[in-house]
Every structure is written in structure tokens, then in C-alpha cells.
Chain A
Amino acid sequence: MNFMCLAIPGKIIEIKGDTAVVDYGGVERRAKIIHGNYGVGDRVIVSNKIIVEKIDNGA
């Protein structure tokens, strides 16, 4: 499989202020929330430590 432009979605497991902890299957990374409403459990795409978009949990 060629992965083309596929990003890896992560799940927000904690939010403190404008910083979220995003879980990638056991690997945790911090990312800044610059715009939008996010909550624990949201699946998101992070680019260069900034949350870019929320993706549909049901997708």
C-alpha cells in the first residue's frame, strides 16, 4: 500500500488550557489548540504540534 497523503489520526485524552495530550495507540504527544472546540475523545489530526482538524469519530 502506498500511503499517499495519509495523516495519522490521534485521540485527545487530556486537555489543559490550550494544550491537548493526543494518544497514538499508546504513544502520547502534546499539541496546541489554536482554534475550534475540542474535547476528550475527539480524534484529531496534528501538524507540527498544532491541532489542525477534528475528524468524524464514526468515519
Chain B
Amino acid sequence: MEPEIYFLKYAIPCMEWKAQLGKVSYEDFKKYRKAASRNEKLSRELLERIYPVPLQIMRDIAQETKKELWSDDVIAEFYLIRHNQIIDDKKYGYGEMPMLDELCKVYKAKLIKFIPIKNSLREPMALAEYNHRIRPVSIILVPGAQLGELVTIHQACAVESFSNLDSLAYKYKNIIK
């Protein structure tokens, strides 16, 4: 998977809130969400403009690890390994509203039930269990996911399946909580 696509899958759940705040239009939110679900690549320039903070963190990680900024390794290092700690540490402006921290964090979750109705974007939904909690999530980014399957969740989206042996989630399965 190209890094622009991989990044968008983890970043896109945040865009709904940016749309609510008027930071991006709902039309753009829907367009980019559809792109993420179809593995369509957005330009790096556009992604840098929409997501300046995640990209700044990734630049810092790339510099520290001497890896390419636009690489799956740097994206995974951010979202799968450092993201939740950054929120806890309130770095880069994260964690300013502690009541929202849990929603913002990336967790390992198990899909436990398909939901018979779709969300307003007409996306299929499932209940995901994580840390003894249950959250409804869109499963548009994990097509073909089965009940009992482990996925990463970010906000109200399942992002990446652990059953894909090539996925970075699988590689980091013992690290992600």
C-alpha cells in the first residue's frame, strides 16, 4: 500500500470533527473518506495542508529514526506506537480535552457484531470491543472483515485488520494495546 493511502486511512476519522468545526467542508470530508475506502491516493501537498500536526510529528519521527517521511514505517511508528502516548503527554497540542482522549486514541479491538443499519454515509457498521468497552465503528476501511477479527480502531472507524499478515498492524500486534 502506498504511504499516502496508508496515512489517509488512519487520519481520515479525524476529518469528520474538522468538518463539524468548519475546518473542512462536508463535501470534502465525504470525498476524502470515499478515497480512503477505495485506496485512492491523495497528493502529499493536500495531505500536508489538511493534517499539519500529524505531518509535523511524522517529520520529527522521520528525522529521529532517519527514515523517509512518506513511508509506512514512519506512519505506523506514529499511529500504532507513539500516538496514544503523545495524547497522554499532551504534546503537539493533543490532549487538550481529556474527556475526548479515549476516542482519539488508536486501539486494538475485536469486531463482535455487525450492525444491521448503516451510518449516514451508508457505510457498514460493527460493534468493536476494546479494553472492556464497546464502540460502534464503520468497517468501510476493512472490507471483508469477519466477526471475531482483530482490527485497529481510531475514532469511529476500524482502520486496519490484524488478519492481513502483510499489514503493519500484524507486525506490531504485540505492541498495540
Same assembly:
yes
A interface residues, Cβ below 8 angstroms from B: 1-9, 32, 34-36, 43, 45, 47-53, 55-56, 59
Can you add 6 more A-B contacts, CB < 8 Å, to A4-B14, A4-B96, A36-B134? A4-B94, A5-B13, A5-B100, A34-B115, A47-B136, A47-B138
Least Cβ distance of A6 to chain B in Å? 6
Any A CB within 8 A of the CB of B125: yes
Q: Who on chain A is nearest to B105 by CB?
A: A5
Q: Which of B18, B98, B117, B134 contacts A32 (CB 8 A)?
A: B117
The reply to whether A34 and B123 form a contact with Cβ atoms under 8 Å apart is no
Q: DSSP majority for the B interface?
A: mixed
B147 at the interface (CB under 8 A from A): no
CA distance A31 to B135 in the complex (A): 15
Number of interface residues of B (CB under 8 A): 35
Q: List the count of A-B residue pairs having beta carbons below 8 Å apart.
A: 89
Enumerate chain B interface residues (CB-CB to A < 8 A): 13-14, 16-18, 20-21, 23, 52-53, 92-94, 96-100, 102-104, 115, 117, 119-121, 123, 125, 127, 134-136, 138, 155-156
Secondary structure call for the A interface: loop
Q: Complex Cα distance A55/B97, Å?
A: 11
